[in-house]
């Protein structure tokens, strides 16, 4: 039987559950071999509200990814978001243990542990302790003190905490599926792994991971993580406003929202020799939403694209951006992120969102696409998959990955075929009849 070193990522959100399975090569490169995204049930604002439905959701997503990969996984890194996420910066101080005063890895571990020693309410637990920088005696701004000489070692660490009950409920779902949790990872941190450059982190940047039910926030200042948090609003609130404004179902409203693109709202210039009446007629026709293409029988009256965007969507987007601005102001970040905002997540491509954020916050704004991977990546190079791809890279950096056995001796041959070509189809037939 073949053995593969794999990392599995499960991103359970309000709207969908994504499972990615990647092998780790000898060159420490990730290669995606299993991908699955299924609609999520039992989640509200990124928190579990129905255990049974969430269990079924994860099971469906995991099974589909495992079938594509050709083996079963035993553990996974899991994303966590929601308004219960909070953060703080803490300091730790220790004396260098070595008689010759050379700082060792053990000293670094001790000082991080000292920074970790904070008082927490009984209902909260630490998810991440991320060193920001170190100070050796009077020298500040040190990134890695190992090997340096000193008497006193200080560290400032960024600590991200979450609600114990939310984490335990999520762990219970995975344990019921015979999966171990390699680690809970804050979704904003995972997205930042693959959407932000080191230069942007040094300058100061804010990552906004806009999900369906909640929005995760991460801010980097001077290359270090300064702030993490989440707000209980997301892209689904825009969908709900469309549904209420047009008196249609949420599914129909989501179709309409996704169909609207920037090109639809471009102003139409007059053609040479075109009369004013003809120009107005052409503008009116281009502004009408094509309901037949969207297959929405519940709508009989034509809808104006501009009215949808400017009258319904933009006011809600302004509200979301205002809440983000409040969070930034509380954390004193307004003057510390000159590189601006990086929008990612499923809601990042919502029409006019980047423009609204740019105008309201007076900062540069761009949409963050995840880092390229090898393997089955044609369908996942999108902002909506940034968190799940970030989980893979986080797992790789943490030294994660477990050996799993392939289902048959022929599994090793599967990499020779293009899954979408004739070879892939033949392989699918052969695999289906193997024991």
Q: What is the pLDDT of residues 163-206, one digit of tens each?
A: 999 999 999 999 999 999 999 999 999 999 999 999 999 999 99
The answer to whether residues 66 and 33 touch, using CB atoms and an 8 Å cutoff, is no
Please state the rounded mean pLDDT for residues 43-68.
Answer: 91
What the block records as the tokens of 278 is 């003809």
Give 257-283 as a DSSP string: HHH--GGGGSPPPPPTT--HHHHHHHH
pTM score, whole prediction: 0.84
Question: Edge-to-edge strand order for the sheet containing 124-136?
Answer: 86-95, 152-163, 124-136, 139-142
Task: Phi first, then psi: give them for residue 321, nearest 5 degrees.
Answer: -65, -35
CB atoms within 10 A of CB 259: 17
> Greater confidence, 51 or 408?
51
pLDDT at 55: 93
Helix (H, G, I), strand (E, B) or coil at 368: coil
- Our CA angle for 82, 86, 90, nearest 5°, is 160
* Mean local confidence (pLDDT), 50-75: 92
Q: Can 86-165 and 235-367 be said to share one CATH topology?
A: no
Number of continuous H segments (helices) and E segments (strands) in the chain: 14, 18
Query: Structure tokens of 420?
Result: 């979408």
Looking at 3.30.420.40, 3.30.360.10, 3.40.47.10, 3.40.50.970, the CATH number of the domain 3-83+167-195+371-433 comes to 3.30.420.40
**Is the confidence at residue 412, as pLDDT, over 60?**
no
Q: Identify the CA nearest to 388 among candidates 373, 407, 399.
A: 373
List the chain domain ranges: 3-83+167-195+371-433, 86-165, 235-367
* Surface-to-core class of residue 175, CB atoms within 10 Å of its CB (0-12 exposed, 13-18 middle, 19+ buried): exposed
Per residue in 211-243, pLDDT (tens digit) is: 988 999 999 999 999 999 999 999 999 999 999
The top-level CATH class assigned to 235-367 is: alpha beta
CATH 3.40.50.720 fits 86-165, yes or no: no
Q: Tens digits of per-residue pLDDT, 66-115?
A: 999 988 899 999 999 988 999 999 999 999 988 888 999 999 999 999 99
């Amino acid at each position: 039987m073949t053995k593969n070193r794999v990392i599995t990522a499960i991103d359970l959100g309000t709207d969908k559950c994504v499972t990615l399975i990647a092998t780790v090569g000898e060159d420490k490169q990730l290669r995606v071999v299993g991908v699955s995204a299924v609609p999520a049930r039992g989640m509200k604002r990124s928190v579990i509200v129905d255990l049974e439905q969430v269990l079924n959701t994860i099971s469906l997503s995991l099974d589909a990814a495992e079938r594509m990969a050709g083996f079963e996984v035993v553990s996974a890194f899991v994303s966590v978001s929601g308004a219960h996420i909070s953060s703080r910066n803490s300091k730790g101080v220790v004396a260098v243990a070595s008689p010759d005063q050379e700082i060792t890895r053990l000293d670094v571990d001790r000082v991080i542990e000292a920074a970790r020693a904070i008082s927490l309410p009984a209902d909260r637990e630490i998810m991440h302790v991320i060193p920001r920088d170190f100070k050796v005696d009077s020298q500040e701004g040190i990134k890695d003190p190992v090997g340096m000489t000193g008497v006193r070692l200080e560290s400032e660490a960024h600590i991200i905490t979450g609600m114990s009950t939310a984490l335990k409920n999520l762990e219970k779902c995975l344990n019921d599926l015979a999966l171990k949790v390699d680690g809970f990872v804050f979704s904003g941190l995972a997205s930042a792994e693959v959407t932000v450059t080191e230069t942007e982190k040094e300058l100061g940047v804010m990552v906004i991971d806009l999900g369906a039910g909640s929005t995760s926030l991460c801010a980097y200042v001077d290359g270090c993580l300064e702030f993490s948090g989440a707000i209980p609003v997301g892209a689904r609130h825009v969908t709900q406003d469309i549904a209420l404004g047009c008196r249609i179902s949420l599914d129909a409203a989501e179709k309409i929202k996704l169909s609207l693109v920037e090109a639809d709202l471009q102003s139409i210039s007059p053609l040479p020799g075109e009369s004013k009446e003809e120009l107005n007629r052409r503008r009116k026709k281009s502004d009408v939403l094509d309901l037949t293409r969207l297959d929405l029988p519940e709508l009989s009256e034509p809808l104006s694209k501009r009215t949808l965007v400017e009258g319904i969507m933009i006011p809600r987007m302004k509200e979301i951006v205002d809440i983000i601005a409040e969070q930034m102001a509380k954390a004193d970040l307004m003057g510390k992120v000159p590189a601006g905002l990086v929008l990612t997540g499923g809601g990042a491509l919502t029409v006019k969102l980047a423009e609204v954020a740019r105008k309201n916050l007076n900062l540069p704004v761009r949409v963050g696409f995840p880092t390229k991977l090898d393997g089955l990546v044609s369908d996942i190079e999108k902002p909506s998959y940034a968190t799940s791809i970030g989980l893979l890279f986080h797992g790789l950096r943490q030294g994660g990955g477990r050996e799993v056995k392939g289902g048959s001796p022929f599994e090793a041959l599967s990499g020779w075929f293009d899954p979408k070509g004739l070879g892939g189809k033949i392989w699918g037939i052969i695999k289906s009849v193997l024991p």
